[in-house]
């Protein structure tokens, strides 16, 4: 009995296994400490990953830099995903400093406020193209640049979607179309890059009070409806998303690609 207790104490004293130990990842899309991308970054760092971060402009640089520094990030660079020059420069620096990548997390989406406020049929051509470019094509663009750096038989691309990609969500409008395109990109990229040993997946997260969500009308009502209908009867957190991302980015999910993984307390399985 004593020998068994001693053995258990030794096992409990061992450090927990770090699922991303020694891996290097690029996080694109952190806005603040309530971002889904931040939940993923914090979880990845806790499990041993070394991370690089990007920011869009000076205002976001002031928010992102201290967060990235708190996770000991050695690379913090500007990146407008609509600028080929900035995207090329980003991956050039990563290639120079690291030489390789294990994963890229894409958490970028945008639609003009007017196109979200008006009926979908009134969506402007310019707004439609801009939303698709930033929210969906940017994932393809990043994948193309990342591919030469991603490690064979272990590279990962992960993006963030939402239930509005498959169902009409009030006031989500153009973003629903953009997310539907993004999920199609996940499948096409997974088929393309599978022979290279690169896995491509998405997390479809339930609604969270983020900076991006502030642009959706009646968001509080959406949260209330979600919480009442979800089987777990609760909202999700950025930590929930971070934990799911940890699984998808780790070798535990080595047989998973082309998937849209729901982290929404079960909301997607229910009927209206």
CA–CA dist 232, 21 (Å, integer) = 32
Return the percentage of the chain with pLDDT > 70, whole number.
90
Annotated catalytic residue 172 = yes
User: Residue range 182-207: average pLDDT?
Assistant: 97
Which pLDDT belongs to residue 2?
53
Catalytic residue among 110, 163, 172, 262: 172
Please report whether residue 110 resides in a domain: yes
SS3 of 187, please? helix
* Domain containing residue 147: CATH number: 3.40.50.720
Phi, psi for 26 (deg, rounded to 5):
-110, 125
Catalytic residue among 162, 163, 247, 262: 162
Which domain, by its residues, includes 80?
20-264
Please report whether residue 116 resides in a domain: yes
Return the percentage of the chain with pLDDT > 90, whole number.
79
H helices present in 108-170, as ranges: 113-117, 125-132, 138-146
Q: How many domains does the chain have?
A: 1
End-to-end Cα, the chain, rounded Å: 56
Please report whether residue 1 resides in a domain: no
Please report whether residue 11 resides in a domain: no
Please report whether residue 120 resides in a domain: yes
Q: Which H or E run includes 198?
A: strand 198-205
pLDDT tens across 74-97, in order?
999 999 999 999 999 999 999 999
Which pLDDT belongs to residue 170?
86
Task: Give me 241's structure tokens.
Answer: 């998303």
Q: How confident is the model at residue 60 (pLDDT cuts 50, 70, 90)?
A: very high
Please report whether residue 217 resides in a domain: yes
Long-range Cβ contact pairs of 232-237 (< 8 A, separation 24 or more): 232/265, 232/266, 233/265, 234/265, 235/206, 235/207, 235/208, 235/265, 236/205, 236/206, 236/207, 236/208, 236/263, 236/264, 236/265, 237/39, 237/208
Please report whether residue 238 resides in a domain: yes
CA–CA dist 176, 263 (Å, integer) = 17
SS3 percent helix, strand, coil of the chain, rounded to 5, is 50, 15, 35
Q: How confident is the model at residue 222 (pLDDT cuts 50, 70, 90)?
A: confident
**Which residues face 55 on adjacent strands?**
78
Annotated catalytic residue 162 = yes
Please report whether residue 43 resides in a domain: yes
pLDDT over 90 (residue 152): no
């Amino acid at each position: 009995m004593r020998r068994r207790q001693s053995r258990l104490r030794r096992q409990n004293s061992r450090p927990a296994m770090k699922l991303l130990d020694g891996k290097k990842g690029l996080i694109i899309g952190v806005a603040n400490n309530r971002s889904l991308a931040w939940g993923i970054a914090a979880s990845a760092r806790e499990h041993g990953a070394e991370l690089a971060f990007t920011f869009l402009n000076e205002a976001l640089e002031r928010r992102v830099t201290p967060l990235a520094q708190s996770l000991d990030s050695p690379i913090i660079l500007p990146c407008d995903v609509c600028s080929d020059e900035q995207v090329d420069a980003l991956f050039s620096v990563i290639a120079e400093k690291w030489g390789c990548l294990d994963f890229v997390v894409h958490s970028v989406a945008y639609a003009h406020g007017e196109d979200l406020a008006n009926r979908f049929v009134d969506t402007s051509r310019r707004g439609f193209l801009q939303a698709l470019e930033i929210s969906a094509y940017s994932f393809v663009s990043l994948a193309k640049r990342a591919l030469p750096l991603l490690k064979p038989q272990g590279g990962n691309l992960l993006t963030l979607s939402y239930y509005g990609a498959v169902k009409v969500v009030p006031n989500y409008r153009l973003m629903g179309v953009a997310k539907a395109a993004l999920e199609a990109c996940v499948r096409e990229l997974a088929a393309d890059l599978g022979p290279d040993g690169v896995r491509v997946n998405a997390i479809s997260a339930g609604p969270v009070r983020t900076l991006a969500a502030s642009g959706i009308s009646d968001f509080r009502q959406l949260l209330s409806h979600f919480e009442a209908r979800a089987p777990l009867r609760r909202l999700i957190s950025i930590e929930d998303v971070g934990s799911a991302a940890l699984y998808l980015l780790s070798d535990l999910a080595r047989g998973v690609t082309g998937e849209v993984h729901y982290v929404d307390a079960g909301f997607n399985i229910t009927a209206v």
